[in-house]
């Protein structure tokens, strides 16, 4: 299984509720909604976005090193 991080903005009008529900069906995925962010969440909440991404990559790398 492939670890998947889904980051989307609270105010993202392009990602409907049905799409969010579909994304939650991806095994080993984690979805995070960034408060106040639009579709380009990395522009609206850059520090939070990069912190989430960095921690996710570290987690995947650590798990991979153990396996």
**E-assigned strand segments in the chain:** 4-9, 29-34
Instruction: Convert the pLDDT of each residue in 27-57 to its tens digit.
Output: 889 999 999 999 899 999 999 999 999 999 9
Residue 2 has pLDDT above 70, yes or no: yes
Q: What is the pLDDT of residue 66?
A: 66
**What does the block give as tokens for 2?**
């492939």
Averaged pLDDT score across all residues of the chain:
89
**Domain boundary assignment for the chain:** 4-66
Contact present, 37 and 14 (Cβ < 8 Å)? no
Q: What is the Cα–Cα distance from 36 to 1, expressed in whole angstroms?
A: 31
């Amino acid at each position: 299984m492939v670890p998947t991080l889904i980051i989307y903005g609270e105010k993202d009008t392009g990602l409907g509720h049905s799409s969010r529900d579909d994304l939650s069906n991806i095994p080993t995925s984690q979805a995070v909604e960034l408060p106040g962010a639009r579709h380009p969440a990395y522009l609206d909440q850059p520090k939070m976005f990069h912190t989430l991404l960095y921690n996710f990559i570290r987690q995947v790398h650590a798990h991979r090193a153990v396996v």
